[in-house]
A = this chain, B = another copy of it.
Amino acid sequence: MGEILPLKKLQGSEDTHFAKTGDTRAAQDNNGEGAFERLQEMVASDMAEVNEIILRRMESPVAMIPQLAGHLIASGGKRLRPILTLASAKLVGYEGRRHTSLAACVEFIHTATLLHDDVVDESGLRRGRKTANVLWGNKPSVLVGDFLFSRAFELMVDDGSLKVLRILSAASSTIAEGEVLQLMTSNDTTTGEEAYLEVITAKTASLFAAACQVSAVVGERPEAEELALQSYGKNLGIAFQLVDDALDYSAAQEALGKTIGDDFREGKLTLPVILAYRRGDEEERAFWKRTVERQKQQDGDLEKAVALLHRHGTIADTIDRARHYGAMARDALAIFPASPARSALSGVVDFCINRAH
């Protein structure tokens, strides 16, 4: 793995954006370090309530359900999506209690998606622990995922707003479409950047967008704010997934206790490979066709793949693309007055892009 460069080296140090928007505190830590912790602190008491709701709604007389769902939910992850719902509620000055249930709902949708993703992807490690699928088998992952989806819908229904229901159920449909689309572009080296963007917008960014947007809805904010939060979430989600896909080929990933090369082994066409295929010569394209399209892989192929990505600078370029969407996400927040919540949400963009350090 010696050929795999740490991500840090690949990243530029421009990012004077915050100074331009006058958001000086965020500019002080514009690499996002500390921003996520600040956000976590800001929503800590709300998050305690979200955790209670999650535990309560996971309950079932069927013992395997809380066991399996609990495994995934206790392993924690960053809880980034529910945090976005809570922070967006703070941003718009919402003072009610509906946002915590919706944050739990968003986390349930995300967890269900992970469970179903584990079934189909055979990825070895997630969040540094064995996946539910490896521990429990395919069947429970499908069925407990279904249970969590259903509970997510019950949480939405209990909220009682048809508008919220429409936003979250549409996001859920879009995620499923995105997953199928991803499947169809797997093993297909003709996949272009546009098709790739369509996949990640659907499978990842749509839930980020909905997670933020619903807080403007419960806060009864004007449509412009709702659309701004939707745009923030969507662009943050795209940036997040771009970085994720770059990390899958990066040594920085290993520091997080995750395996690298999962996407490669599965023949997933992500941007680093899409760009390398296009920029490569005939011999390189033959390599990608064999390994990713026909999935005939042998020892040393992953190392060779990583070397090709570096030769064409496609991991760094993928991060650059992420910066573009990150900038759009930050600009979407500009219509809100400066506030600790706005600074923290801005900082999360950098956190997502630089999280690999």
**Residues from chain B with Cβ under 8 Å of A62 in the complex:** 177, 180-181, 184
**Residues from chain B with Cβ under 8 Å of A286 in the complex:** none
A255 located at the interface, meaning its Cβ lies under 8 Å from any Cβ of chain B in the complex: no
Residue of B nearest to A165 (CB): B157
Would you call A143 and B169 a contact (CB within 8 A)? no
Alpha-carbon distance A89/B108, docked complex (angstroms): 34
A139 located at the interface, meaning its Cβ lies under 8 Å from any Cβ of chain B in the complex: yes
| A interface secondary structure, majority | helix
CB proximity to B under 8 Å, residues A110-152: 116, 119-120, 138-140, 142-144, 146-147, 149-151
Protomer copies: 2
**Residues from chain B with Cβ under 8 Å of A37 in the complex:** none
The answer to whether residues A138 and B150 also contact, given A165-B165, A180-B65, A184-B62 and a CB cut-off of 8 A, is: no
A52 located at the interface, meaning its Cβ lies under 8 Å from any Cβ of chain B in the complex: no
Residue among A150, A170, A181 having the largest count of chain B Cβ atoms under 10 Å: A150
Fill in one digit per residue for A142-186: 1 if any B CB lies within 8 Å of its CB, else 0: 111011011101100100101001100110110111011101100
The answer to whether residues A143 and B65 also contact, given A150-B169, A173-B154 and a CB cut-off of 8 A, is: no
A64 located at the interface, meaning its Cβ lies under 8 Å from any Cβ of chain B in the complex: yes
Alpha-carbon distance A124/B245, docked complex (angstroms): 37
CB proximity to B under 8 Å, residues A165-211: 165-166, 169-170, 172-173, 175-177, 179-181, 183-184
Residue pairs across A and B with Cβ atoms less than 8 A apart, 18 shown, are A62-B180, A65-B177, A116-B142, A116-B146, A138-B138, A140-B180, A140-B183, A143-B183, A144-B180, A146-B149, A146-B172, A146-B179, A147-B173, A147-B180, A153-B153, A154-B169, A154-B170, A154-B173
Chain A residues in the interface with B (C-beta under 8 A)? 60-65, 116, 119-120, 138-140, 142-144, 146-147, 149-151, 153-154, 157, 160, 162, 165-166, 169-170, 172-173, 175-177, 179-181, 183-184
